[in-house]
A and B are shown apart, each in its own frame.
Chain A
Amino acid sequence: MTATAPSTIGSTGTGSQRGASDEAAGPATGAGWWVTTADHKRLGVLFLVGALLFLVVGAAVGALLRTELAREGVDLDVQYGRLLSLHSTVATLLFLVPAWIGMASWLVPLQIGASRVAFPRLHALALWLFLLGGTMLLAAYVLGRPFFDLAEGLPRPGPDQGANEATGLAIMGMALVAVSTLLAAMDLVVTVLKLRTKGLTLVRLPMFSWSVLITCLALLLATPVFLAGLALLYLDRHFGGDLFVGNPAGNAVWRHTLWLFGRPDAFLVLLPGLGAACDIVATHSRRPLLGEGAARQAMVAFAVLSFATWAAGPGVADALVLPTYSVPTALAALPVAMVALVLLGSVVKGRPELHVSLLFVSGFLLLTGLGALNAGVAAAVGVEGRPWATGHLHVVGFGAPTMLLFAALYHWAPKMTGRHPSAKLAGTSFLGLFGGFALLGLGSYLLGYDGGPARLQDYDFTAGATTFNPLAFLGGLLVLLGLVTFALDFVRIAVLRAGEEAAGDPYEGLTLEWATSSPPPPQNFETVPEVRSAQPLLDQRTPVQSGSRG
């Protein structure tokens, strides 16, 4: 089987090949190709590119913040708070969730044997709302510092709060991003429930599609609460009220609307990654996942328990992994441990072939282990203060799911682009991202154990700070290096069309996306293989055992 490689990462095709599903996909060529498209593959790519660009902005701002902490004499002064707020808002809202939505938009129809998403034009609307909202959010920080953010939570009174244009713009930007999330999540749920090919029952869904279904259902319930909080905040400012500035009752309302969205969200960014990791490990281990049913149930439990973390306490880090204030939050770690065991068991029982995506999955496991270890140490020695929490957020809350996102990108890169990524560049990207997050976390953890101050910008450059802050700074630079290397690799294979051509099924995959050419044609499939288990392509290769699985 050879790759029939259309010329770009999206998809092209001759007129006679374009199916009815692509009527909504816009013109196949021309300047407006990417702008007017409603093809799920192009929309997915645009979601991913947008999210990764926002990540670069957030990472660059983070590195800038670290320069103040790494070297005495560098003083960002009042801009420090503004940049920190930008950094945390971008990381929370504009990267992981939209990136997973992009990955899901691209991959889910292929995994379920569909030729499109349920509502292509609505999906396109979601994309443009995300890009517009994200841009408005960044523009807000150019104008000034909004008087609230997602990390600190509580709106702060300020001298210019009455006329702060940045706040209004930030609220509108966040609202657009939230609406975009809702529309895309709804579309993905309907796609999975209604457009599955014949024989692909819910329990036979590929793990990534299963995790997307669960994640999107949870997002559909959590995101509107955040929107309601934003609506109240906007109206309060618009009418000149003071409910959210210095009023404990208003602060409680804001805090809970933020938590009921943000707490599940902090967990849900991991869920599609767990699904992707299951598919990656099963594919490269060349066997069905060990304990697949348990993994599916663990993901459902994880999503349900993520809502319980709403009541975890005031600190975001407290809501992630132990030590924690609440039993439900501690319980939320168990399903992740269950999926980790499933992954390890599948590798042990299978015949794994080393692939860079497996490196990223192991990077996720190591970062999660580092976080769990430090949580245990912190519980034993009693650590307080911002540095430890910062480290924990970067390792567990952000670094671990980011490793899984890049695992997914590298795993499905041949399918997306029709080319294999460079092993050297991919390896460098892994080392940069994994080493970067590990050092970033380690520096902050150690600073926390050293008794770092509550506010990062209040360092007096004690011996500990001068040792550990540069470590974290180096970690930030490594993360940037990993991102740049990744970008170079993908520009090389997707834009310049360099690198080895990929076959339709380069890994001897198990699920339906590998049953079409790389990259897929506009209508995705010429023929959809018969589905009689969760591994339809394995059934085709080993007909004797077919029907005995799934």
Chain B
Amino acid sequence: MASPTLTSPATTPAGPAGNTPAGAPAVAALPPAADERPRNLMPMGVLLLSASGTMFFGALVAAYLHLRDVTEPWPPEGVKLDLYLGNLLIITMALSAVTVEWACFALRRGDRRQSSAALGVTIGLGVAFLNLLSYTADQVPFDAASHPYGLVVTALVMLLGIAVGIGVGFVTLTLLRVSGRQLSAAEPSQLRATACYWHFTVAASIAVWYTVAILK
């Protein structure tokens, strides 16, 4: 049983994960033990922020649906979205979901080169998506100020672009760390977190596409 004395300089320090019984003999010559960093901190953090992101895009989609119900005409006359470009955008993002998982799989097996290649392809697909999204936004025959439709679609597209842009940055950082041997099969948590975030952006892209192109 532990001693009633709660703190004692003559005991061995312990990190948050370790419970050294009070009264254990101290090793005076050694510095305090380093914290044992728990695993999966970053994936959990990203998962929570992705839940917030889902609420964020959910609110925008809800605003779109509400405005659609109370505004006539919807979409404004003369607006016809190019489904071809929209479908291409979604296919690009869906492919990138596969490549980011490929990167995770490769790192788990200790194959750093293949993991780096997969992350590189993911970045390429992300940049291609952003490029095509920008092109699509330039082509649409409306602006944000002309009609509620213009505002809410512009908001969805711009904010989705920002989310994917952040994702591309995140994947690039992870690629650098994988290439620099800072991530490995034993310490893959940043790559897992990157994959979580990337899947969120894929889901958000699909939600935006379904709302604007299918539900209209």
Contact = CB atoms under 8 A, between A and B. Distances in A.
A242 to B, nearest CB: 8
Contacts of B145: 236, 239-242
5 contacts: A228-B59, A228-B60, A241-B145, A523-B32, A526-B8
Interface in B1-49: 1-9, 11-22, 24, 31-35, 38, 40-41, 44-45, 48-49
A19 B32 contact: yes
Nearest to A196: B16
A517 interface: yes
Given A515-B6, A530-B19, A190 B41 contact: yes
Contacts, number: 186
B144 A515 contact: no
B32 A17 contact: yes
A224 interface: yes
Given A225-B56, A239-B151, A526-B13, A190 B44 contact: yes
A543 B33 CA distance: 29
B173 interface: no
Given A186-B48, A221-B51, A529-B6, A249 B16 contact: no
A529 B22 contact: yes
Contacts of A531: 19
B2 A19 contact: no
A1 interface: yes
A118 B151 contact: no
A23 to B, nearest CB: 9
Nearest to B143: A239
A540 interface: yes
Q: Which of A182, A242, A526, A546 has the most CB atoms of chain B within a 10 A radius of its CB?
A: A526
A312 B188 CA distance: 46
A227 interface: yes
Main secondary structure, interface of A, reads helix
A199 interface: yes
A376 to B, nearest CB: 36
A379 to B, nearest CB: 32
Given A193-B44, A227-B56, A232-B155, 16 more contacts: A19-B13, A21-B15, A186-B45, A190-B45, A196-B16, A198-B17, A198-B19, A231-B60, A240-B145, A249-B67, A250-B67, A256-B66, A514-B6, A523-B13, A525-B13, A529-B19
B73 to A, nearest CB: 14
- Measured as residues with beta carbon below 8 angstroms from the partner, the interface class of chain A is 35 or more
A198 to B, nearest CB: 5
B5 A224 contact: no
B148 A220 contact: no
Contacts of A238: 144
Closest 7 pairs (CB-CB, A-B): A228-B59, A20-B34, A239-B144, A224-B56, A114-B16, A224-B55, A241-B145
Q: Which of A197, A238, A504 has the most CB atoms of chain B within a 10 A radius of its CB?
A: A197
B52 interface: yes
